[in-house]
Amino acid sequence: SQTIHQWPATLVQPVGSPLSLECTVEGTSNPNLYWYRQAAGRGLQLLFYSVGIGQISSEVPQNLSASRPQDRQFILSSKKLLLSDSGFYLCAWSGRETQYFGPGTRLLVL
Amino acid sequence: ILNVEQSPQSLHVQEGDSTNFTCSFPSSNFYALHWYRWETAKSPEALFVMTLNGDEKKKGRISATLNTKEGYSYLYIKGSQPEDSATYLCAFKDTGGFKTIFGAGTRLFVKA
Protein backbone atom coordinates (compact mmCIF):
# COMPACT_ATOMS: atom_id res chain seq x y z
CA SER A 1 0.00 0.00 0.00
CA GLN A 2 1.03 3.58 -0.54
CA THR A 3 2.39 5.74 2.27
CA ILE A 4 3.31 9.39 2.30
CA HIS A 5 5.76 10.88 4.79
CA GLN A 6 6.40 14.48 5.70
CA TRP A 7 8.89 16.02 8.07
CA PRO A 8 9.31 17.79 10.28
CA ALA A 9 5.90 17.72 11.91
CA THR A 10 6.35 21.12 13.54
CA LEU A 11 8.82 23.92 12.88
CA VAL A 12 9.40 27.32 14.44
CA GLN A 13 11.69 29.55 12.40
CA PRO A 14 12.77 33.20 12.60
CA VAL A 15 11.93 35.62 9.79
CA GLY A 16 14.65 35.59 7.16
CA SER A 17 15.81 32.05 7.85
CA PRO A 18 15.81 29.31 5.18
CA LEU A 19 13.28 26.51 4.97
CA SER A 20 13.32 22.94 3.72
CA LEU A 21 10.33 20.63 4.05
CA GLU A 22 10.56 17.13 2.72
CA CYS A 23 7.94 14.73 1.43
CA THR A 24 8.44 11.15 0.29
CA VAL A 25 6.01 8.62 -1.11
CA GLU A 26 6.28 4.84 -0.88
CA GLY A 27 4.43 2.15 -2.75
CA THR A 28 3.84 3.90 -6.05
CA SER A 29 5.92 5.07 -8.97
CA ASN A 30 5.80 8.27 -11.01
CA PRO A 31 3.10 9.88 -8.86
CA ASN A 32 1.78 13.38 -9.39
CA LEU A 33 2.93 15.29 -6.30
CA TYR A 34 1.54 18.45 -4.72
CA TRP A 35 2.34 21.01 -2.03
CA TYR A 36 -0.57 22.82 -0.37
CA ARG A 37 -0.69 25.42 2.36
CA GLN A 38 -3.45 26.30 4.76
CA ALA A 39 -2.98 29.75 6.26
CA ALA A 40 -4.84 30.55 9.49
CA GLY A 41 -8.60 30.58 8.94
CA ARG A 42 -8.35 29.79 5.25
CA GLY A 43 -8.74 26.81 2.92
CA LEU A 44 -6.14 24.75 1.12
CA GLN A 45 -4.07 26.70 -1.38
CA LEU A 46 -2.20 24.79 -4.08
CA LEU A 47 1.42 25.97 -4.14
CA PHE A 48 3.22 23.59 -6.50
CA TYR A 49 2.61 20.40 -8.40
CA SER A 50 4.89 18.01 -10.22
CA VAL A 51 4.15 15.37 -12.83
CA GLY A 52 7.69 13.98 -12.97
CA ILE A 53 11.31 14.33 -11.88
CA GLY A 54 12.52 17.88 -12.35
CA GLN A 55 9.08 19.08 -13.53
CA ILE A 56 7.60 21.72 -11.25
CA SER A 57 4.59 23.96 -11.85
CA SER A 58 4.07 26.96 -9.59
CA GLU A 59 0.59 28.17 -8.87
CA VAL A 60 1.20 31.21 -6.71
CA PRO A 61 4.05 33.73 -6.97
CA GLN A 62 5.86 33.80 -3.65
CA ASN A 63 9.23 33.36 -2.02
CA LEU A 64 8.85 29.58 -1.94
CA SER A 65 10.25 27.05 -4.41
CA ALA A 66 9.88 23.32 -4.93
CA SER A 67 12.10 20.61 -6.32
CA ARG A 68 11.71 16.97 -7.22
CA PRO A 69 15.17 15.42 -7.22
CA GLN A 70 13.85 11.85 -7.24
CA ASP A 71 10.67 10.19 -8.45
CA ARG A 72 9.10 9.93 -5.00
CA GLN A 73 10.68 12.91 -3.26
CA PHE A 74 9.25 16.41 -3.22
CA ILE A 75 10.93 19.29 -1.40
CA LEU A 76 9.55 22.71 -0.50
CA SER A 77 12.14 25.42 0.15
CA SER A 78 12.65 29.06 0.88
CA LYS A 79 15.81 31.13 1.08
CA LYS A 80 14.26 33.72 3.41
CA LEU A 81 11.04 33.11 5.31
CA LEU A 82 8.41 35.79 5.75
CA LEU A 83 5.88 36.08 8.56
CA SER A 84 3.16 35.35 6.01
CA ASP A 85 4.71 31.93 5.32
CA SER A 86 3.30 30.63 8.60
CA GLY A 87 0.72 27.93 8.09
CA PHE A 88 0.06 24.22 7.76
CA TYR A 89 1.82 22.63 4.78
CA LEU A 90 0.49 19.45 3.25
CA CYS A 91 2.13 17.23 0.68
CA ALA A 92 -0.10 14.99 -1.42
CA TRP A 93 0.14 12.45 -4.19
CA SER A 94 -2.57 11.76 -6.70
CA GLY A 95 -4.01 8.36 -7.47
CA ARG A 96 -6.32 7.75 -10.39
CA GLU A 97 -9.18 9.63 -8.78
CA THR A 98 -8.22 10.75 -5.29
CA GLN A 99 -5.48 12.74 -3.62
CA TYR A 100 -3.79 11.25 -0.58
CA PHE A 101 -2.27 13.61 1.95
CA GLY A 102 0.71 13.40 4.22
CA PRO A 103 0.52 14.21 7.94
CA GLY A 104 1.47 17.85 7.38
CA THR A 105 4.02 20.29 8.78
CA ARG A 106 2.97 23.15 10.99
CA LEU A 107 5.28 26.11 10.36
CA LEU A 108 5.40 29.16 12.60
CA VAL A 109 7.54 32.06 11.47
CA LEU A 110 8.35 34.54 14.24
CA ILE B 1 -9.27 31.38 -12.66
CA LEU B 2 -10.93 28.27 -11.27
CA ASN B 3 -12.94 28.99 -8.14
CA VAL B 4 -14.61 26.57 -5.75
CA GLU B 5 -17.00 28.06 -3.22
CA GLN B 6 -18.37 26.35 -0.13
CA SER B 7 -21.17 27.43 2.16
CA PRO B 8 -21.74 27.93 4.94
CA GLN B 9 -18.28 28.74 6.25
CA SER B 10 -19.17 27.18 9.60
CA LEU B 11 -22.12 25.42 11.12
CA HIS B 12 -23.10 24.63 14.71
CA VAL B 13 -25.67 21.86 15.21
CA GLN B 14 -26.96 19.72 18.04
CA GLU B 15 -26.34 15.99 18.23
CA GLY B 16 -29.02 14.22 16.19
CA ASP B 17 -29.63 17.11 13.79
CA SER B 18 -29.35 16.48 10.07
CA THR B 19 -27.41 19.02 8.07
CA ASN B 20 -26.13 19.77 4.60
CA PHE B 21 -23.46 21.92 2.96
CA THR B 22 -23.04 23.27 -0.54
CA CYS B 23 -20.10 23.28 -2.93
CA SER B 24 -20.21 25.25 -6.18
CA PHE B 25 -17.64 24.82 -8.93
CA PRO B 26 -17.08 25.67 -12.62
CA SER B 27 -19.54 23.82 -14.84
CA SER B 28 -17.16 23.68 -17.81
CA ASN B 29 -14.28 21.22 -18.32
CA PHE B 30 -15.54 19.12 -15.42
CA TYR B 31 -13.64 15.92 -14.60
CA ALA B 32 -14.36 15.05 -10.95
CA LEU B 33 -15.64 16.44 -7.68
CA HIS B 34 -14.18 15.25 -4.37
CA TRP B 35 -15.34 15.56 -0.79
CA TYR B 36 -12.83 15.28 2.06
CA ARG B 37 -13.19 15.23 5.81
CA TRP B 38 -10.45 17.12 7.68
CA GLU B 39 -9.97 16.92 11.42
CA THR B 40 -7.69 19.36 13.18
CA ALA B 41 -4.01 18.33 13.18
CA LYS B 42 -4.72 15.42 10.83
CA SER B 43 -4.57 14.89 7.06
CA PRO B 44 -7.69 15.33 4.94
CA GLU B 45 -9.43 12.01 4.42
CA ALA B 46 -11.23 11.24 1.17
CA LEU B 47 -14.99 10.69 1.54
CA PHE B 48 -16.32 10.61 -2.01
CA VAL B 49 -15.27 11.15 -5.58
CA MET B 50 -18.00 11.79 -8.12
CA THR B 51 -17.59 12.03 -11.86
CA LEU B 52 -21.03 11.78 -13.48
CA ASN B 53 -23.89 14.27 -13.47
CA GLY B 54 -26.56 12.97 -11.11
CA ASP B 55 -24.10 10.82 -9.12
CA GLU B 56 -25.14 10.07 -5.57
CA LYS B 57 -22.73 8.49 -3.11
CA LYS B 58 -23.34 7.28 0.44
CA LYS B 59 -21.10 6.18 3.30
CA GLY B 60 -22.97 5.45 6.51
CA ARG B 61 -24.81 8.61 7.59
CA ILE B 62 -23.04 10.78 5.03
CA SER B 63 -24.17 11.17 1.44
CA ALA B 64 -23.42 13.47 -1.48
CA THR B 65 -25.05 14.50 -4.75
CA LEU B 66 -23.63 16.05 -7.90
CA ASN B 67 -25.00 18.39 -10.56
CA THR B 68 -22.30 19.08 -13.14
CA LYS B 69 -24.56 21.08 -15.48
CA GLU B 70 -25.22 23.78 -12.90
CA GLY B 71 -21.97 23.27 -11.01
CA TYR B 72 -22.95 22.28 -7.48
CA SER B 73 -22.70 19.40 -5.04
CA TYR B 74 -24.40 18.85 -1.70
CA LEU B 75 -23.04 16.90 1.26
CA TYR B 76 -25.62 15.60 3.73
CA ILE B 77 -25.07 14.29 7.24
CA LYS B 78 -28.00 12.49 8.84
CA GLY B 79 -28.24 12.42 12.62
CA SER B 80 -25.03 14.35 13.34
CA GLN B 81 -22.75 13.01 16.07
CA PRO B 82 -19.99 14.85 17.98
CA GLU B 83 -17.40 12.77 16.12
CA ASP B 84 -18.65 14.30 12.85
CA SER B 85 -17.13 17.61 13.95
CA ALA B 86 -14.53 18.47 11.33
CA THR B 87 -13.94 20.63 8.28
CA TYR B 88 -15.53 19.27 5.11
CA LEU B 89 -13.65 20.19 1.95
CA CYS B 90 -14.82 19.88 -1.60
CA ALA B 91 -12.38 19.87 -4.48
CA PHE B 92 -12.79 20.23 -8.23
CA LYS B 93 -10.67 18.57 -10.85
CA ASP B 94 -10.88 19.75 -14.45
CA THR B 95 -10.20 17.82 -17.64
CA GLY B 96 -6.56 18.95 -17.57
CA GLY B 97 -6.23 16.32 -14.84
CA PHE B 98 -3.23 17.55 -12.87
CA LYS B 99 -4.67 20.12 -10.52
CA THR B 100 -7.30 19.80 -7.83
CA ILE B 101 -8.78 23.09 -6.64
CA PHE B 102 -10.08 23.08 -3.07
CA GLY B 103 -12.80 25.16 -1.52
CA ALA B 104 -12.21 26.89 1.81
CA GLY B 105 -14.27 24.22 3.60
CA THR B 106 -17.28 24.13 5.90
CA ARG B 107 -16.37 23.83 9.56
CA LEU B 108 -18.97 21.66 11.35
CA PHE B 109 -19.35 21.70 15.13
CA VAL B 110 -21.68 19.09 16.62
CA LYS B 111 -22.63 19.67 20.25
CA ALA B 112 -23.57 16.71 22.46
Q: What is the DSSP string of chain A?
A: --EEEEE-SEEEE-TT--EEEEEEEES-SS-EEEEEEE-TT--EEEEEEEEETTEEEESS-SSEEEEEEETTEEEEEESS--GGG-EEEEEEEE-SS-EEE---EEEEE-
Q: What pLDDT band is residue B71 in, cutting at 50, 70 and 90?
A: very high
Q: Which of B36-45, B73-82, B96-105 has the highest mean pLDDT?
A: B73-82
Greater confidence (B58 vs A98) lies with B58
Q: pLDDT for B22-68, tens place per residue?
A: 999 998 889 999 999 998 778 899 999 999 999 999 999 999 999 99
**Dihedral over Cα of B71, B33, A61, A103: its sign:** positive
Asked whether the beta carbons of residue B98 and residue A57 sit closer than 8 angstroms, the reply is yes
Residue B65's identity, in one-letter code, is: T
* d(CA B54, nearest CA chain A) in Å: 18
Residues from chain B contacting residue A46 (CB–CB below 8 Å): 99-102
Give pLDDT, residue B97.
67
Give pLDDT, residue B74.
98
A37-40 long-range Cβ contacts below 8 angstroms, 24+ apart: A37/A87, A37/A88, A37/A89, A37/A90, A38/A87, A38/A88, A38/A90, A39/A84, A39/A86, A39/A87, A40/A86, A40/A87
Average pLDDT, chain B: 92
Q: pLDDT for A25-76, tens place per residue?
A: 999 888 999 999 987 767 788 899 999 999 999 887 678 999 999 999 999 9
Give pLDDT, residue B1.
59
Give pLDDT, residue B98.
74
CB of B102 within 8 A of CB of B6?
no
* d(CA B102, nearest CA chain A) in Å: 6
Greater confidence (A61 vs A3) lies with A3
Give pLDDT, residue A47.
93
Alpha-carbon gap, residue B94 to B8, rounded angstroms: 24
Residues from chain B contacting residue A98 (CB–CB below 8 Å): 34, 46, 49
Average pLDDT, chain A: 91
Q: What is the mean pLDDT of residues A88-105?
A: 88
Q: Hey, is the C-beta of A90 within 8 angstroms of any chain B C-beta? A: yes
Asked whether the beta carbons of residue B46 and residue A44 sit closer than 8 angstroms, the reply is no
pLDDT over 80 at A77, yes or no: yes
Q: What is the mean pLDDT of residues B90-105?
A: 85
Q: What pLDDT band is residue A6 in, cutting at 50, 70 and 90?
A: very high
